[in-house]
Amino acid sequence: MTAVPVLDPVQVDAGRTPDPRGRSRRTWSHRTRLAVVYVILIPFGLLFVAPFVWLLSASFQPVSDIFSWPPQWIPAHPTLDGYRQFFGAGGAQAGVWFLNSAFVSISVTVLQLFCNSLAAYVFAKRRFPGRSAIFLLFLATMMVPPQVTMIPNYLILQHVPLFGGNDLFGAGGHGMLDSYEGLILPGCVSAFGIFLLRQYMTSIPDELLDAARIDGASEFRIYAQVVLPLCRPVLAATAIFTFMAAWEDFLWPLIIISDPNKFTAPLGLAMFVMKNQTSWSVLLAGSVIATLPMVVVFAVFQRQFVQGIAMSGLKG
């Protein structure tokens, strides 16, 4: 038996020997591009972060130092008087505002995750006549400013039958106005959330769903046990968007809420500002406390947030 000679890969592929100079040039070019990107992005990042940093720093400064020039980024005379006065002036009522905001924001977030994901699953994985047209209609609602729909929503909530003193025809009472239901229900569905989830769900292979159907799984079970676990990144992104929007909402609670015990944090702080217009240290302390929940939520879920946004944008 004739032995097969072993050829040296270097001799066989001598024409494609890597050039160290070419590799170094590519590495240098890549580093140069990264340096240019960082030089551009770092100033913009500092520009966006600076207001919050100053807000946090000023909340620990006495009033005499808040308006000093140049601004003090590190408090020269740190104090907690602003926070003491805020909780002393607001008292238990300030705690009620934040509890109301937490309850409304979490409720809206949970309802949107369920309703939006269910609708997105239908648009992404179910076939029925008019699917594309209905989906485009949902997207068209994103072009309508929310201020336009406030009056219709107000009238609908006011005339909900058998609620808030209303009769069967929706007359005689205030309906869902001045209630937690009125704060939560109008925000339980979002066209943007449906779009974001639907874009991600289209990347899930149909073979996984077909295998589950062959095993006898119902459509709701496929949605709950197959699709949702694969959508955790985009669900986290949607949850952050929804929670932040619900927590920061000011205009809608201002319109429908009149009971101070149902004020949300932005509305309660606005009323607090009207009573304490010159107490800047107190106002800054309250603003920091109102901002912290959103910062904490984003810090905890930032990895899933970035991954969900990236995947939703790349998948068709």
Q: Is residue 52 part of a domain?
A: no
Instruction: Give pLDDT, residue 115.
Output: 93
CA dihedral 97, 299, 239, 242 (to 10 degrees): 50
- The total number of structural domains in the chain stands at 1
| 119 touches 188 (CB < 8 A) | no
Tokens 């000023």: give the residue.
Answer: 58
169: burial class by Cβ within 10 Å (0-12, 13-18, 19+)?
exposed
The set of residues, in sequence order, having a beta carbon less than 8 Å from that of 316 and lying 6+ positions away, is 199, 202, 203
268: burial class by Cβ within 10 Å (0-12, 13-18, 19+)?
buried
* Four-residue CA torsion sign, 201, 205, 211, 214: positive
Instruction: Give pLDDT, residue 239.
Output: 87
| β strands within 70-224, DSSP E | none
CA dihedral 234, 236, 130, 225 (to 10 degrees): 90
| 286 touches 86 (CB < 8 A) | yes
Q: Which residues of the chain have pLDDT under 70?
A: 1-26, 28, 89-92, 276-279, 301-302, 304-316
Q: Is residue 58 part of a domain?
A: no
Domain at 276, CATH number: 1.10.3720.10
276: burial class by Cβ within 10 Å (0-12, 13-18, 19+)?
middle
pTM (2 decimals)?
Answer: 0.75
Tell me the pLDDT tens digit for each residue of 267-303. Answer: 888 787 777 666 677 777 777 877 777 777 777 766 7
CA-nearest of 80, 117, 107, 95 to 238 is 117
Q: What is the largest CA-CA distance in the chain?
A: 104
Instruction: Give pLDDT, residue 17.
Output: 54
d(CA 188, CA 245): 12
Tell me the pLDDT tens digit for each residue of 94-133. Answer: 778 888 999 999 999 999 999 999 999 999 988 889 888 9
> By residue range, what is the domain housing residue 243?
81-314
Q: φ, ψ for residue 190 (rounded to 5)? A: -135, 130
Q: SS3 letters for 48-60?
A: HHHHHHHHHHHCC
Q: Is residue 128 part of a domain?
A: yes
| 196 touches 158 (CB < 8 A) | no
Q: Is residue 105 part of a domain?
A: yes
Angle at 138 between CA 180 and CA 308, to 5 degrees: 80
DSSP class of residue 4? P
Q: Is residue 88 part of a domain?
A: yes
Q: Is residue 65 part of a domain?
A: no
92: burial class by Cβ within 10 Å (0-12, 13-18, 19+)?
exposed
d(CA 62, CA 58): 8
d(CA 169, CA 158): 11
Q: Is residue 244 part of a domain?
A: yes
CA-nearest of 280, 257, 281, 277 to 268 is 257
Q: Is residue 49 part of a domain?
A: no
